[in-house]
Amino acid sequence: MESRELDELYSEVILDHCRHPRNRDEVPAPDIQADGVNPFCGDEVHLQIALDGQGRVARVGLQGKGCSINQASGSMLTEAIAHKTLSEVEDLVRLFRAMMGGAVPADGRLGELQALSEVRRYPVRIKCALLAWSTLEEGIEDYRRHGR
Ligand code: ZN
């Protein structure tokens, strides 16, 4: 997508995350690690999380490739989950997915993430916005399965 076209379609919040993605550095020796791909769009997400002694997210690293919405959504995710417990993170994933599915009004509960609700106007992009979140969810499930 041309950047001029993008400027017209998406809000400043999304564009800012797209141009300056946060927390891109890979986290060494992570507790949680997951990778996701969306072959339809060529999107990729590589995610690492290190937990602190209380089971809260201490460090997040996310390396995204592909379209702008995937990159912006991944970047926003890394800020949204900082210092949360895994249960809180899972609640957030559920709420975010519900908002993207139109089941939850964009009423401010999701803060900055609410900006991504405008992607609903482009149904083909919803998967792009959800990739990082599905990857995160899989990473947490995997972590719980291994009983750590
Ligand atoms: Zn995409």
Q: What is the DSSP string of 73-109?
A: HHHHHHHHTTT-BHHHHHHHHHHHHHHHTTSS---ST
Region 1-11: mean pLDDT is: 58
Q: What is the pLDDT of residue 1?
A: 47
Rounded distance from Cα 129 to ligand 1 centre (Å): 7
- Predicted TM-score (pTM) above 0.75: yes
Distance 131 CA to ligand 1 centre (A): 8
Strands across the sheet containing 43-51: 32-38, 43-51, 57-65
112/11 Cα distance (integer angstroms): 11
Cβ(145)–Cβ(34) under 8 Å? no
Measure 73 CA to ligand 1 centroid, in angstroms.
10
Residue 18 has pLDDT above 80, yes or no: yes
User: What digits encode the pLDDT tens for the residues 94-143?
Assistant: 999 999 998 877 677 899 999 999 899 899 899 999 999 999 999 999 99
Residue 106 CA to ligand 1 center (angstroms) comes to: 22
* 148 pLDDT more than 60: no
pLDDT tens digits along 63-82:
999 999 999 999 999 999 99
Q: How confident is the model at residue 52 (pLDDT cuts 50, 70, 90)?
A: very high
| Ligand 1 center to 2 CA (angstroms) | 14
**pLDDT of residue 146 exceeding 50:** yes
